[in-house]
Chains A and B, each alone.
Chain A
């Protein structure tokens, strides 16, 4: 079974530029999560989708971050404009459903904002 795929793996941008990350969850997984992991910290949940609907985005900085999952499969997370403090690893995870608790994580995208 293929795991959660993410791209790109690494990205370096200057502050005020825009960037987008892509995630393809495990086939059949209805729930998709985006996390931000700053170096030395635990992951922080940014947004959670159930199929193509948003379940929770309370910790997403909506003035600069946006995410979509239009067809209920792949998802993109965008930052526009980026700030220095956005430097982090962005992790995508998926699970079978909302109340099915085991999440499977992708390899992450390491973002450096200079």
Chain B
């Protein structure tokens, strides 16, 4: 079974600061997804990364994928309170028939 690990699990940061969330996965895959989940809400797709070296940016968030290292990062620039949420990464199995989510990173941005 493919394992997906995120760190940190909990992150408290001040507004205006930068930080990176890491997502490691255990087997070959070149498709990595990032989702956001607000408390009591469903999941919202943030980024779809479909190849080695892929980088995508939206506002204060930037995601990248290194398939050789089996690592994706979600970088937060100049955090604002509205970014407080839980962030999940997810990976397709190589056959594409299974989909595994990470443990999640709960982010709290403090004013």
Binding site for B on A (CB under 8 A): 33, 40-45, 48, 55-56, 58-59, 91, 93, 98-99, 101-108
State whether B43 touches A43 (Cβ < 8 A).
yes
Q: Could you tell me the distance between the alpha carbons of A93 and B104 in the complex, rounded to whole angstroms?
A: 18
Tell me how many residues of B have a C-beta within 8 Å of chain A: 22
Determine the residue in chain A with the shortest Cβ distance to B33.
A101
Determine the residue in chain B with the shortest Cβ distance to A59.
B98
Q: Could you tell me the distance between the alpha carbons of A113 and B38 in the complex, rounded to whole angstroms?
A: 24
State whether A41 touches B103 (Cβ < 8 A).
yes
Binding site for A on B (CB under 8 A): 4, 31, 33, 41-45, 48, 50, 88, 90, 92, 96-104
Residues of A within 8 A of B102 (CB): 42
Q: A42-B88, A107-B41 are in contact. Are A99 and B97 (CB under 8 A)?
A: no
Q: A44-B101, A101-B33 are in contact. Are A106 and B42 (CB under 8 A)?
A: yes
Residues of B within 8 A of A98 (CB): 96
Q: Could you tell me the distance between the alpha carbons of A56 and B98 in the complex, rounded to whole angstroms?
A: 7
Determine the residue in chain B with the shortest Cβ distance to A40.
B104
Residues of B within 8 A of A33 (CB): 99
Residues of B within 8 A of A43 (CB): 43, 88, 101
Q: Could you tell me the distance between the alpha carbons of A102 and B50 in the complex, rounded to whole angstroms?
A: 11
Known: A33-B99, A43-B101, A45-B99. 9 other contacts (CB 8 A): A42-B4, A42-B88, A43-B43, A45-B100, A93-B43, A105-B42, A105-B44, A107-B41, A107-B42
Residues of B within 8 A of A102 (CB): 33, 45, 48
